[in-house]
Amino acid sequence: MRRRLGLAAATLVALPILLAGPSPTAAASVTFETPRVSSTFGVSIVFDQPVRLARAPKRAEVLLYFPGSLGAEANEVPISNGLTQALRYQLDLSQTSLKPNTRIEARWRLTFGDGTAETGPQVSVLYADTRFDWKTRSGAIVRVHWYKGTAAFGERALAIGEKAVDDASKLLGVAVQEPVDFFVYADQKPFYDALGPGTRENVGGQAVASIRTLFALITPGEINAGWVGIVIPHELTHLVFNTAVDNPYHFPPRWLNEGLAVYLSQGYDAGDRSQVEGAARDGSIIPLDGLTGEFPATGDRFSLAYAESVSAVDFMVRKYSKAALVSLIRSYATGVTDDEAFRAALGVDTGAFDDAWLAQLGTKAPPKVGPVSAPAGPLPTGWSGPANAGNPPAPGSTAQSAPRVTAAPNAPSNSPTSATDRSLGVVLGLILVLIAVAAIAWLLRRSVSARPSGPAS
């Protein structure tokens, strides 16, 4: 996942005093001392690298490695004069979505005028929410962290989490070995501060697969509430799902991910069923190809997207079997496309599955809305071409596509447009003739006036 981590202040300043001690990395042009890093939650992360230079570098960069990234993020810093210096880079976190429990690794790279480069030692920092005194309980896979509530609160959250991971792992046939951290917030504002800007207010839990971390908003008095037994398994199912489909090429449709999480945490219950059936009756159903990415932002459509997702998963299990669902999900680990995955597991592509799901609801996809081709114009006399040879109109549109036509060789045209063009050509031709005549007359007068004067012979 690529990140834009906001503005970062970076400076390269000369320091007369350096850290004492042996140099861990030495080279002909630079000696890197022990790097330092400090983190302040919600404010900044500062990377310091003391160095001793034998010659001035042309460029200095700090290379930052984030979980799940394909490579380093290179950040160039300005260079000051002098050979005894300290490198500093400050990452501003005030407007970023960097989540707590994210481990960042960094190292410095200096490039010299001859093109050679020297890279310093690696340093890492765990960006943590330091506002609270966290308590921790660890299970086989899940580690629960909370700051309000008794030990029984933590044990209850841990039991729910361990069962959720175990159930999803058994279903999908994946062995989850890396620990999952589960942070329980008891206060709304700190919870949303941790998730970062842009978090929707109706979010009660969020799983971040790249750092294998779950964040949830649960007060001590709510730990035994029914919804807690839903939100924790729901979010942890996402982490297991991510383990099952992990590949560098293509992620499954969101409706499949969310549908499985709802299916395993609460099933296709009466509330979701009523919502989907109502949308099917009134024509407001959202086709599955409209739920492959981000879900709608409005509350009613957002809720409908989740209800449709679990409806589609429930239909898949009933029509094709739970084994087919598992086969479909597991196939994504090989980097296949959606249609390839569906054909291999179900024998139909995504479009056919969507149609079958809609048909068992007694409805069909509503007409698509979007740009349509311009209506066809008159076909000039002497021109020929198949009608509507261009792009077909959108479903439900009455507009006709403009025909693609080809001119017949030497074919005369009597259309009004052709007549206008001929008249314009005649007028332009007369104007050119008049200009030529005027130019010739002017040249003749100039020639006569230029003759030498004298007595007549």
pLDDT profile of the chain (457 residues), mean per 10: 39 34 53 95 95 90 92 89 80 87 96 93 96 96 95 94 94 90 95 86 86 94 89 93 92 96 95 96 94 89 96 97 96 95 97 97 85 75 64 43 37 44 59 71 53 38
- Looking at residue 391, its pLDDT comes to 47
Contact 227, 207 (CB under 8 A): no
- Looking at residue 19, its pLDDT comes to 32
For 304, the token pair is 């409908």
- Put the strands of the sheet holding 205-208 in their side by side order: 135-138, 142-146, 180-185, 213-217, 205-208
**Dihedrals φ, ψ of 233, to 5°?**
-60, -35
In angstroms, the Cα distances linking 437 to 252, 433, 446, 447, 450 are: 76, 6, 14, 15, 20
- Looking at residue 376, its pLDDT comes to 75
Spelled out in words, what is the top-level CATH class assigned to the domain 131-242?
A: alpha beta
Helices 254-265 & 228-245 angle (0-180, nearest 10): 140
Residue range(s) in the chain whose domain bears CATH number 3.40.30.160: 131-242
The set of residues, in sequence order, having a beta carbon less than 8 Å from that of 311 and lying 6+ positions away, is 259, 268, 272, 273, 276, 357, 361
Helices 299-320 & 350-360 angle (0-180, nearest 10): 100
Question: For residues 249 and 259, what is the distance between their CA atoms, to the nearest angstrom?
Answer: 22
Beta strands in 238-376 (DSSP E): none
CATH 3.40.50.410 fits 8-127, yes or no: no
For 9, the token pair is 């202040």
- Looking at residue 422, its pLDDT comes to 52
In angstroms, the Cα distances linking 229 to 248, 266, 293, 299, 380 are: 32, 9, 27, 23, 71
The set of residues, in sequence order, having a beta carbon less than 8 Å from that of 240 and lying 6+ positions away, is 165, 168, 169, 172, 174, 176
- Looking at residue 350, its pLDDT comes to 97
- Looking at residue 68, its pLDDT comes to 84
DSSP letter for 217, please: E
Question: For residues 42 and 67, what is the distance between their CA atoms, to the nearest angstrom?
Answer: 19
Neighbours of 341 (CB within 10 A): 25
DSSP letter for 138, please: E
Residue range(s) in the chain whose domain bears CATH number 2.60.40.10: 8-127
**Torsion sign (Cα): 133, 135, 138, 143:** negative
Burial of 165 (0-12, 13-18, 19+ CB in 10 A): buried
pTM summary value: 0.69
Among 96, 93, 99, 102, residue whose Cα is nearest residue 126: 102
For 456, the token pair is 């007549």
Contact 255, 245 (CB under 8 A): no
